[in-house]
Amino acid sequence: MSREQVLERIRAALGDVPARADEAAGLPTLPTPQVFADPVGMFVERSRQLSMTAEIVASMDDAAAHAAAWCAGRAARRVAVWSSADLQSVVDRIRAAGVEILVPGSPLDALASADIGITGAEWGIAETATLVLSTDPGRPRLTSLLPPAHMAILRADRILADLPALFARCGALPSALTLVTGPSRSADIGFVPVLGAHGPMAVAVFVIAN
């Protein structure tokens, strides 16, 4: 069957359905974003189903306290962080506990020895418990990918329902957009699931309600 025959069948099946503006302009069509009653609750619940540590906290100070406790629970001695004013209270709390802080631009061998990478998150996707991380010189990808554990701080008002909602909101895309859904998993060899094959073995996210 030729391409034109396939398209003709699709047109016949659609009948009189009016074309969307993006279709009329010849642009790719995205599904309509879903609407969930409690996207924040769904994000946290599905994060936990994916073996992530996920908690809703009241403020950045509470997030800093939870972050310090999570680092202490993992006996972290060296932590890589993004250069972000939003994370400063978290970084200060962890540094006060005697943990070494590695900022963007630190030597690669030092980053490779970091116990945890700490980042913010541009968005969260409730449907899949996905963290969306933008990239720039102060927010390198290695912070979330290289250490064996990753912690993210996310504002509740940045949690969207699904991927169509993300692409409807994010505007111009950065040079790299990293989507993180739970700890790294792979079953490439013998269909045996292995954690940490391509990234962190543990992921924690603290969602700030305010």
pLDDT per position as a tens digit, 46-57: 999 999 999 999
Residue 86 has a CB neighbour count (10 Å cut-off) of 13
- Give the model confidence (pLDDT) of 146-155 as tens digits: 999 999 999 9
- CB of 114 closer than 8 Å to CB of 102: yes
- The residue that leads in pLDDT, 13 or 58, is 58
- The residues facing 78 across adjacent strands are 100
**88-97: burial string, b at 16+ Cβ within 10 Å, e else:** ebbbebbeee
What pLDDT was estimated at residue 204? 97
Mean pLDDT of 196-204: 80
Q: Which residue has the tokens 């290289």?
A: 146
pLDDT at 67 over 60: yes
Q: Which residues pair with 149 in a beta bridge?
A: 202
Which of 4-8, 62-66, 153-157, 181-185 has the least mean pLDDT? Answer: 4-8
Sign of CA dihedral 63, 65, 66, 71: positive
Give the per-residue pLDDT at 143: 96
